[in-house]
Chain A
Amino acid sequence: MSEPKTESKLERLLNEGRFVVTGEIGPPKHAGGDGIKHHVELLKNHVDAMNLTDNQTAIVRLSSIAAAAHVLAAGGEPVIQMTVRDRNRIALQSDLLGAYSLGVRNVLCLSGDHQSFGNHPTAKNVYDIDSIQLVQTVKGLRDEKKFLCGEEIKEHEPRFFIGAVANPFGDPFAYRVLRLEKKVNAGADFIQTQAIFDMDRFEKFMAMVRERGLHKRVKILAGVMPLKSVGAARYMQKSVSGMIVPDPIIDRMKGAGDPKAEGVEICVEQIKHLQTIEGVAGVHIMAVMWEDIIPTIVEKAGLYPRPK
């Protein structure tokens, strides 16, 4: 077990060698916090930490950091997602300081969906730095106690457990593992992957990860997403960039008498399978607009109760 770098509960559990479970909450398109609190109550005993998405698909939502404050108040462990789409290096670092001061200990760095997907397609994007450079920046704040410009942080440096994403289903496939390695070199402590439906490709990806020894340097949480209907499955297959949904999954959803139950069943099977893959340190359950189902999935997968 390595020395903890941060006060993150997620880091502690991963260091203890637990198979962790994280969930995801999409903040609302309004200024009310009650829905978030409700979800935290629902999830907090079934997941070890919960992601708060950052204006996902470029649609304006309650900010991930404010949502994280609600999570903390309700007794959950938040992971704030932070995209480099909407903020420059000044705003990103400022928000990192602010989030840490509120008690947030985990951050997930990502590029963010292009604004053309969202509800403000005429917005100007920022992309001052990229996601790998953000990982580096968060590490610099923590380990070197320095801002990106090199200036020293005299006290109270933010000490985040640093996450990044990996998409084994993006192209060029051969480069995906090398790019993961770049993220690890930049300072990523944990990785959450894109939702996995194509298990064969993920197995190949993990074999390459092990070949390069990356699973020993970073904690990889495999992403899963329960499907609600065959329509949702088709949508993921056709319209979501960087996703692969194989036909057999579509067929299973199509043939199901109770598609929701089938979606849960598939997800539970996937989680059980993922637990057998060397180098997978946990699962990240993304139940978009269906957060309530997460406890059922965790219980059926035999991952309940969660460690403290």
Chain B
Amino acid sequence: MIIAEGKPIAEVAELIKDAKKVLMVGCGGCVTVCLAGGEKETGILASALRMLRQQQDNPLETVEVTLTRQCDPEYVEMLDKYVTDDIDCIVSLACGVGVQFLAERYPKWVVPALNTKFAGGTVKHGQWEERCGLCGECILYRTGGICPIIRCSKSILNGPCGGSQNGKCEVSPETDCAWQLIYDRMQALGKLDMLLEIQPVKDWSKARDGGPRRVVREDVMIS
């Protein structure tokens, strides 16, 4: 899933300082699972912002709605009835995709309340970790199911570099060296000889190219 984290409340307050009435939009997708932008977090952020503005003698009115997903026009449409003329600003608690889908649909000032971090998963309650760099051409079958693109600090395809020591990456003692993990796993699977092959240079045009990447599936399109 997409992992996100709330911006500091003071930062969000600053983004909406000129607004009297804001529409706060949560998302029921990934950011609900990672406890950053679901219904609960939307309520908490709204009340925190209202309290802050109360203290400043400049009351703020909030309307709170949580959509099933903000990355799908089908659900975004359901927001139409809340986007009234008196709304000065929309605060989205979705990932950057949701923020943009709202901005594309409404001629309003839309601001993000979260910092979108990465594609990852839960490693333990309250801790999430990155697993995929969305490179567009998955090579996990060559590295024993461990991604060197995002888990190696240098995205080395023929690792490990000289900085790997005691299983840790040179960058930090808290970070496992991805290539030590790959080595251990390939050894356990009896596939060490695969690591002797020189991995070719990567086609990064699949990862980030001119403008947004697209996936088109004509078979499921409704004309």
Contacts and interface: CB of A to CB of B under 8 A. Distances in A.
Interface of A: 85, 89, 110-114, 116, 125, 127-133, 136, 148, 165-167, 169-172, 175, 178-179, 181-182, 185-186, 194, 241-242
A114 B153 contact: yes
B210 interface: no
B154 to A, nearest CB: 5
A89 B201 CA distance: 10
B69 to A, nearest CB: 31
5 contacts: A127-B156, A128-B202, A165-B162, A178-B192, A186-B198
A127 B161 CA distance: 12
A79 to B, nearest CB: 17
Contact of A133 (B153, B170, B201): B201
Given A130-B158, A172-B183, A114 B163 contact: yes
Contacts of A175: 160, 183, 195
Interface of B: 153-167, 170-171, 177, 180, 183-184, 192, 195-196, 198-202, 204
Contact of A132 (B155, B158, B177, B184): B158
A132 B198 contact: yes
B170 to A, nearest CB: 4
Contacts, number: 91
A211 to B, nearest CB: 15
Majority-rule SS of B interface residues:
loop
B94 to A, nearest CB: 25
Given A130-B158, A175-B183, A182 B196 contact: yes
Given A170-B160, A171-B160, A178-B196, 5 more contacts: A112-B154, A114-B153, A129-B201, A131-B161, A133-B201
A251 to B, nearest CB: 22
Contacts of B202: 128-129
A158 B202 CA distance: 24
A242 B201 contact: no
Contacts of B201: 89, 128-129, 133, 148
A172 B184 CA distance: 9
Contacts of A116: 171
Contact of B164 (A110, A133, A185, A242): A242
Nearest to B160: A170
Nearest to A175: B183
Nearest to B184: A172
A241 B165 contact: yes
Top 3 A-B pairs, shortest CB-CB distance = A167-B162, A241-B170, A241-B163
A240 to B, nearest CB: 9
Contact of B166 (A113, A171, A185): A171
Among B155, B159, B163, the one with the most A-chain Cβ atoms within 10 Å of its Cβ is B163
Contacts of B153: 114
Nearest to B154: A127
A169 B198 CA distance: 22
Contacts of A194: 162
A257 B31 CA distance: 63
Contacts of B156: 111, 127, 130-131
Contact of A170 (B154, B164, B196): B164
A21 B162 CA distance: 22
A20 B171 CA distance: 33
A169 B161 CA distance: 11
A133 B200 contact: yes
